[in-house]
Amino acid sequence: MFEKMLVLGIESSCDETGVALVDASGTGVPRLLSHALFSQIAMHQPFGGVVPELASRDHIRRVLPLTQEVMQSAQRTLADVDVVAYTRGPGLAGALLVGAGVACSLAAALGKPAMGVHHLEGHLLSPFLSADPPEFPFVALLVSGGHTQLMRVDSVGSYELLGETIDDAAGEAFDKSAKLMGMPYPGGPHLAKLALEGDGAAFKLPRPLLHSGNLDFSFAGLKTAVLTQAKKLGDDLESRKADLAASTQAAIVDVLVKKTLAALSQTALKRLVVAGGVGANALLRSQLNAACRQRGIRVHYPELAFCTDNGAMIAMAAGMRLQAGLVDLQGLQGSYTFDVKPRWNLSEFQPRPVPMG
C-alpha cells in the first residue's frame, strides 16, 4: 500500500497520443484524476491508413502540451508525480520511441522512476476505469485493429491466452472490408453505421474457424469473400452496399460472440470483460449482453472514451501493477535507458511479485 502514488501515463503506440494521471494511493482501484487524448485520424485519412513516420512526428508535437493540459486539469504539478509510465509495446516502433523517450526524460528530470507498460494489459484493465469495475477472475475478449484474443485473467499480471487470431484481427476485418467498399479511413465505424440500414442476412459470408474446436480466430478469408462479393455486384455495389456492410458485420460479430461463449463455458467463469476499439461496436455489445444475460454472466466494458488507445489505461495498468507489488521501484529508480518492443507477447510480461520493503 502506498500513502501517496500519483502515476502519469503516456500512450503513443499508434495514431493516438494519450496522457493521463491516476492516483494509486491506498488499496482501492486507482482513481483517474485527469486525461487528454489527441487522435490523428484526420491526418492519416488522405492516405487510407496510418503513415508511421507522420504518426511519430505528430506524437512529438502533442505529448508535452497534452501533459500540461492533464496536470492543469488535475490541479497538480509535475513535482507531484511519483512514477512516469509509458507504452513500451506492442505498436509502431517510431511512435513507441516518442512516448518512451519523453517519459524517461521527464522521469530523469524529476528524479522519479520510469515504467514501461504493455499496451494490451492497458486494454485488459481499462474496464477498471469505469463506474462498474469487474472483479477477478474473468474472461477477456480483446478486440482491436491489431489484436483479437481471448484471455483468462486471474489477477493483475496473471494471464492465460485461450485463443487468438491466426491472421487479420477483427478490427482489420472491419477496416479492410470497408475499404473494399470504398469507405474512408478508418472504415470500421463507417461500416458499422451503414450496416444499420442493411440486412445482415442478405449475403452468405463465411464464418472462418467457427467450428474449429478451438478458440482461435481467422478473418482474412472473410475479407477475401467480401472482395469477391463486391466484384460480383459490380455496378450494383452502391445500391447493395448497406446489405454487404451488414452481412460483413454480422459474420464478424457471430464469430466473436460464439468463440467468447465457448471460452466462458470452457473456463466456467461467470464474468466477461470486453476491451479494445471493436468493443464499442453496438451489435457486438447487444449480442454479447443478450447471450450472457441468459447464462447469468456479468459483462463489463470500458467507457466508450477508453475503448480506443488512451493514456488512462496505461496509467491505470501501471497503478494496478504497483499496488499488486509487481514492480521493483527501487530497481527502476535512476535507470533511464529504454527500449521498445513493437512485437511483444503479453505472456512475456508477467514478472513475479517483488518483496515490499
Q: Which domains does the chain have, with CATH numbers?
A: 6-126+307-348 (3.30.420.40), 137-301 (3.30.420.40)
Mean pLDDT of 98-116: 97
pLDDT of 176 above 60 = yes
- Nearest residue to 103 (alpha-carbon basis) of 80, 82, 83, 86: 86
Mean pLDDT of 343-356: 66
SS3 61: helix
Q: What is the pLDDT of residue 27?
A: 84
- Nearest residue to 145 (alpha-carbon basis) of 124, 115, 168: 168
Q: How many CA atoms lie within 13 A of 311 on its CB side?
A: 33
SS3 161: strand
Q: What is the pLDDT of residue 29?
A: 93
More confident residue, 22 or 337: 22
**Quick check: 22 and 33 in contact, CB under 8 A?**
yes
pLDDT of 59 above 80 = yes
Q: What is the pLDDT of residue 357?
A: 42
Start-to-end Cα distance in the chain: 11
Say what percent of the chain tops pLDDT 70.
97
Mean pLDDT of 170-185: 94
Query: Going by DSSP bridges, is the β-strand pair 298-300/16-23 parallel, antiparallel, or unpaired?
Result: unpaired
Taking only the tens place, the pLDDT of each residue in 75-88 is: 999 999 999 999 99
Beta-bridged to residue 17, according to DSSP, are 38
d(Cα 324, Cα 346) in Å, to the nearest integer?
Answer: 17
Taking only the tens place, the pLDDT of each residue in 138-171 is: 999 999 878 899 999 999 999 999 999 999 999 9
Q: What is the pLDDT of residue 127?
A: 94
Degrees, nearest 5: CA angle 189-122-35: 75
Taking only the tens place, the pLDDT of each residue in 268-304 is: 999 999 999 999 999 999 999 999 999 999 999 999 8
Q: What is the pLDDT of residue 24?
A: 96
- Nearest residue to 244 (alpha-carbon basis) of 262, 266, 263, 222: 222
Instruction: Provide the Cα torsion 111, 8, 11, 193; round to 10°.
Output: -170
**91's grid cell:** 505498436
Beta-bridged to residue 110, according to DSSP, are none
Q: What is the pLDDT of residue 355?
A: 46
Q: What is the pLDDT of residue 189?
A: 94
Mean pLDDT of 207-229: 94
Q: What is the pLDDT of residue 175?
A: 93
Beta-bridged to residue 272, according to DSSP, are 139, 299
Mean pLDDT of 23-38: 95
Instruction: Provide the Cα torsion 232, 234, 235, 236; round to 10°.
Output: 30
Query: What is the DSSP secondary structure assignment for residue 26, as one 8-state letter?
Result: B
